[in-house]
Amino acid sequence: MPAPDGHGYIWTKERYGNFILELDYKVPEGGNSGVFIRTGSIPKAVQTGIEVQIHATTDGSKHGQCGAIYDCLSPSKDANKGPREWNHYVIMCLNKKIYVNLNGEDIIDMDLNLWTKAGWNPVLREGVEPTRNKFKTAYRDMPDEGHIGFQYHGNQIWFRNLKIKSLD
């Protein structure tokens, strides 16, 4: 059920560390949502979890397009089918690595150990300046296990075929 401000989440009861999550999702034009992984504190989800972005468009925001690790790492390519179409995520967490596959395309290969400073994204390619993010904890220091959450961000969102396989 959404909160009075039109936002909310559905959370797993169990906590997961190393896992594979598969799901299908669909959003309308302009839809915005996300999948939170390894969330340490549900009341502080944004600061204690890692969000894999669901977005119907590339709205121009840095690290905010579909498939991004929100505000930290953009996907290597746009594999999103777009609004009103079913998309398929495979998200795998293995120790300090996060892998995201969208519609059969590998789009995120993230080593959390590279995120060493709170509020900053590392330089991943020579000649590129570091960028800021909004997180009070360096991603290297985020929880290694936690709840998985499905965000309701005020836009319609549909999820189906959710499967979680623990690798621990």
160 token code pair: 């189906």
Per-residue pLDDT of 65-101, as tens digits, reads 899 999 999 999 999 998 899 999 999 999 999 999 9
Residue 5 in domain: no
Range of the domain at 147: 16-166
Residue 129 in domain: yes
Residue 74 in domain: yes
Residue 6 in domain: no
Predicted model pTM: 0.92
Per-residue pLDDT of 7-23, as tens digits, reads 789 999 999 999 999 99
Q: Using DSSP, state whether 154 is helix, strand or coil.
A: coil
> Residue 58 has what pLDDT?
63
> Residue 2 has what pLDDT?
47
What is the number of structural domains in the chain? 1
CATH number, domain of 146, equals 2.60.120.560
- Going across the sheet that includes 87-94, the strands are 105-111, 97-102, 87-94, 19-26, 158-166
Q: How many residues does the chain have?
A: 168
Confidence of residue 64 (pLDDT cuts 50, 70, 90): confident
Closest by Cα among 15, 17, 36 to 151? 36
Residue 2 in domain: no
